[in-house]
Amino acid sequence: MLYAVAMSSALPPFPKPEEPVDTSRLLEVGPASDEPCLRADAARNRARLLEAAARLIAEHGVAGVTMEAVAAAANVGKGTVFRRFGDRTGLLTALLDHSARQLQADFLSGPPPLGPGSPPLERLRAFGVAVLYRTAEQLDLQLAAQPEPTRRFVHPAIGSLRMHVTMLLRQIVPDADCDLLAHTLLASLDPALIHHLTRQCDMPMDRLEAGWLDLVARVTGTEPPRPAGACGPRPAGRG
């Protein structure tokens, strides 16, 4: 990969309720009512339920995540799970929101080229690769928790990604319709499309990565990055 980003198929660890979590720079990825100021015991219960759901996904896949199974794995009553997350989609969405916060932390304050410190074009390339591999590694969860079509593009997690892409585009191609271009770029990273390309068309991930880099080059009017180890044109007059 030209833009290696450390990604894992496992969800990132859940912060302990008693540990301070610096979210001052993180965009809100869940509904405002989804993260009320919880009492310490309620926060611990929520973390335990999410950890139980993550274990079930690791052991049995997304199909193994039911409200009853999560309640049994966390040793709580089924009603507790319903009260906290509403339904199965709400539970899966909470798992994805946690992962989305980690991705936000990476592109807002992580190391370059994904985080600050690299030119905006480099960051945009790295962003797409990170989202691509994160989506592919959590594909079943992404598809199961995807909002219904009328809510998909207004979901806060999607909005935060679009805002970041728009910001980078405004630095690279300030005269373009960056809001619309951000939608276009993110459409190529849609979980349903990645499912179709990788599982139904058997496309390898390196082809999708190369496609993202090519798309960015065409949208921004820039040269695509050279493959690792590629040599420049041979100077004239040398044999």
pTM for this entry: 0.70
Q: What is the pLDDT of residues 111-143, one digit of tens each?
A: 999 999 999 999 999 999 999 999 998 888 888
Q: Do 157 and 97 touch, CB atoms closer than 8 A?
A: yes
Angle between helices 120-137 and 156-172 (to 10 degrees): 150
pLDDT in the model for residue 231: 52
165 Cβ contact partners less than 8 Å away, ≥ 6 residues apart: 124, 127, 182, 185, 186
pLDDT in the model for residue 57: 83
Is the model's pLDDT at 29 over the cut of 80?
no
pLDDT in the model for residue 184: 95
Among 84, 101, 3, 86, smallest CA distance to 47 is for: 84
